[in-house]
A and B are shown apart, each in its own frame.
Chain A
């Protein structure tokens, strides 16, 4: 089975803190994604990566950055957390191109106070 592991299930941070969310997949997938999920808004793509050291902006990249130094690991960074970044963050991975079959991690629920 594909396993996508997110390092933290629940985090509470203060405004202005730097936040790291880490994601590791064990299936040698080329593609990795970071989404956030908010009630009534669905899943929105923050960033994605189709190869090591490659990254592309999604729909809502502002306030976020990412890092992919190894194929299996994709990190989401909030340089200075704000209250409007309180959300559920979901990492996903997939094979190849043009696929809608995404494998998700269990999610990281971030609260910014």
Chain B
């Protein structure tokens, strides 16, 4: 089983739709969690951290479920500019234990 698993998509959604991605992780000792965004042919950039209590940043909501070992990202009112690949990142607590998922591709359609 992969350490971090994501549905590769693509998720094709119309503008204004709500879309959710999940990411599962295998190691229960994982300590911190993040969502990164990567535009086509660009570098990944931090979108948001994921806190145990859940957190929101504008149209984006991230949640962590430690019992089931998954994190989620919810995007409301999708914009064309949200089209990108979203990478789930899990940190075991040391430099070499930052594990990236392979990403979920989102395409927002006019």
Contacts and interface: CB of A to CB of B under 8 A. Distances in A.
Contacts of A107: 42-43
Assign chain B's interface to a size class.
20 to 34
B95 A100 contact: no
Interface string A38-60: 00111101001010000011110
A90 B98 contact: no
B34 A97 contact: no
Contacts of B102: 40-42
A31 interface: yes
Nearest to B89: A100
Interface stretch (B11-19, B44-52, B60-68, B74-82): B44-52
A90 B43 contact: yes
Given A42-B87, A42-B103, A102 B42 contact: no
A71 B19 CA distance: 41
A106 interface: yes
Interface in A75-113: 90, 97-102, 104-107
Interface of A: 31, 33, 35, 40-43, 45, 48, 50, 56-59, 90, 97-102, 104-107
